[in-house]
Amino acid sequence: MDKFRMIFQFFQSNQESFMNGICGIMALASTQMYSAFDFNCPCLPYYNLAYGLGILLVPPFILFLLGFVLNNNISMLAEEWRRPQGRRGKDPAVLRYMFCSMAQRAMIAPAVWVSVTLLDGKCVTCAFCTSVPVDTLGNASHPRLSQGEIQRVLARIPCKEIYNGQQLIANEVAVRYLRCISQALGWCFVLLMTTLAFLVRSLRPCFSQAAFLKSRYWSHYIDIERKLFDETCTEHARSFAKVCIQQFFEGMSTDLVAAHCHLPRKAPAEAEEAAEKLLGITDQGTMNMALKSWHRCKPPLHLHPPALPTGNGWAGEGQPPTHPSAPRKETAAYYSWV
């Protein structure tokens, strides 16, 4: 039990760990869904191909979209992409990093589904049973069957209980032939996905590590800033509701006093604390204006450092101060540019 608790705490440690855990659960769920899925090939010409390819490709597309839906960063990415320019510029590299990060995680479950489906071989057997080379594996000179009848017979290969073309081609031979091709494609797909993941993980630091670190840092910053803004708004809403309720009951105090009821007075410290949490925003219109201002013109990522001396002597206007010289403390500022 302690191990599961440690794993759960690790998944909750940060956003990336949480999403990795979600993707791992989705990958396991995809295998369980396929094992529980009742595969029934229609065994009809032109329908087998649509059914087999549909089972092979449609569920991975749904799992891919579901991976985006379960990712909390999708709303943050859309908000950052669609928001006005305002006082803070939008970095396309950060947006690309966020999208690629979500796409890589969302691809895990579809890749597992495609791999399991190809290695099992039922979809390929159903979709391409009419393409079995009868000339090589069977008796293509069967005199009593036309080309259309041969297609109808081959379409029944996945349905062993209704297959009646043993004179044309043995059912076991055709199924084994298609399953071997499907398994070969499955292992090639697994090898391709593993090679791509290895190349992305190993070669990316060799070319753009500095740009990758900057994009990753600011992506984490946007996530943390959004969480802190939500927490601040929640705290303000709690304080606002508390003050509104207190004012309502204070307004009813006249009736209570008339009924000879004595109300406990609120401590001044509690009143000051509630006023501080409101941050001077005490009406609905001002709060709505603050929320719109945050969306339209977010504050720039600049913490107002002091003016720095330049090569000519002063930053800004390039002119020395006009007030008379006076003894002042000398301060040295050290800046590191990355």
Which pLDDT score, from 0 to 100, does residue 187 have? 95
Residue 19 vs residue 86, higher pLDDT: 86
* Other residues' Cβ atoms within 10 Å of the Cβ of residue 102: 20
Residues 125/158, Cβ–Cβ less than 8 Å: yes
Best CA proximity match to 105, nearest among 145, 63, 144 = 63
Task: Kindly report whether the global pTM for this prediction surpasses the value 0.95.
Answer: no
Best CA proximity match to 158, nearest among 170, 173, 136, 175 = 175
* CA 207 from centre of chain: 25
- CA distances to 24, 26, 94, 119, 229 from 222, in Å: 25, 26, 10, 41, 10
pLDDT in tens, 269-320: 665 676 677 877 888 898 999 999 888 888 888 887 655 555 544 444 444 4
Which pLDDT score, from 0 to 100, does residue 283 have? 86
* Other residues' Cβ atoms within 10 Å of the Cβ of residue 333: 8
Residues 147/172, Cβ–Cβ less than 8 Å: no
Instruction: Return the DSSP state at 325.
Output: P
- Give me the chain's average pLDDT, please: 79
Which pLDDT score, from 0 to 100, does residue 308 have? 53
Which pLDDT score, from 0 to 100, does residue 320 have? 45
- Look at residue 209 and give its three-state secondary structure: helix
Contacts of residue 16, Cβ cutoff 8 Å, sequence gap at least 6: 101
* Other residues' Cβ atoms within 10 Å of the Cβ of residue 83: 15
φ, ψ for residue 14 (rounded to 5)? -150, 175
- Look at residue 283 and give its three-state secondary structure: coil
pLDDT in tens, 133-146: 888 887 766 657 77
pLDDT in tens, 195-242: 998 888 787 777 777 888 888 899 889 988 988 999 999 999 988 888
pLDDT in tens, 99-154: 888 888 888 889 999 999 999 999 999 999 988 888 888 776 665 777 788 888 88
